[in-house]
Amino acid sequence: MDRKYLAGLIDQTLLKPEATRDDIMRLCEGALKYGFASVFTNSHFVPLVAKELDGSGVRVGTVAGFPLGATTTAIKSFEAFMGVMSGANEIDMVMNIGLLKEGEEAAVMADIVMVVETVRSAARVAERSDALVKVIIETCYLSDEEKVFAAKIVERAGADFVKTSTSFGPKGADSNDISLIRDAVGRGLKIKASGGIRSLSQVREMVAAGADRIGTSFGVSIMEEFDAEG
């Protein structure tokens, strides 16, 4: 894993409710310095982030139905639409966890499909052809069977990534979950590991298990750790 590859894995993230404009500016500065994959914030900050990252190649991300996934599909879709129209090209939505646990496959699928279609439509309107959708399944609340069930629904719904966690649950990313999901979906669906990832060793563990992206608020310190290795 070289430096550029490592930086390109990282979605530098700040979704805390107490985040300020200055916090977001520092987030962008770190992303620009290291060339992270993206910066993820709550939707209020998307126009600011889009302005700061314009032309840099660092992508802009925001969330929908966050952090519980229990809002209506219409609300998630509207959040996703406004996120794209405000400058985001990546949307991380939260699956309806309760419906998944009830086995309501069609309803879970419809929820995701609507957001995916909304993002694609908004991207066309905004003349942005590369908008991505990631679906957070919040693995800490699911059995192994439910994790596989959820990942396969995400794949069939046409999303680009399945994502492990919001970081608001009792447990975040787990390399065993990454391996489980990778075995279930093969290489047809990308995986974002997120939640509690603070060190370079954790990043390496997640990537070895099959992760394609890393969501973390510790991107800068992870890069500093990498550089310190020489």
What is the gyration radius of the CA atoms in the chain, in angstroms?
16
Quickly tell me which residue has 């609340």 as its tokens. Answer: 141
Tell me if residue 101 is catalytic.
Answer: no
Q: Considering the entire predicted model, what is its pTM?
A: 0.97
Tell me if residue 4 is catalytic.
Answer: no
Q: Which member of 76, 134, 147, 163 is catalytic?
A: 163
Yes or no: say if 147 and 176 are a contact pair by the CB < 8 Å rule.
no
Quickly tell me which residue has 């370079």 as its tokens. Answer: 200
Q: Which helix (H) or strand (E) holds 110?
A: helix 105-125
44-93 pLDDT, tens digit per residue, is: 999 999 999 999 999 999 999 999 999 999 999 999 999 999 999 999 99
Distance CA 58, CA 38 (A): 5
Q: Which member of 76, 134, 147, 192 is catalytic?
A: 192
Tell me if residue 192 is catalytic.
Answer: yes
Predicted local confidence at residue 130, as pLDDT: 87
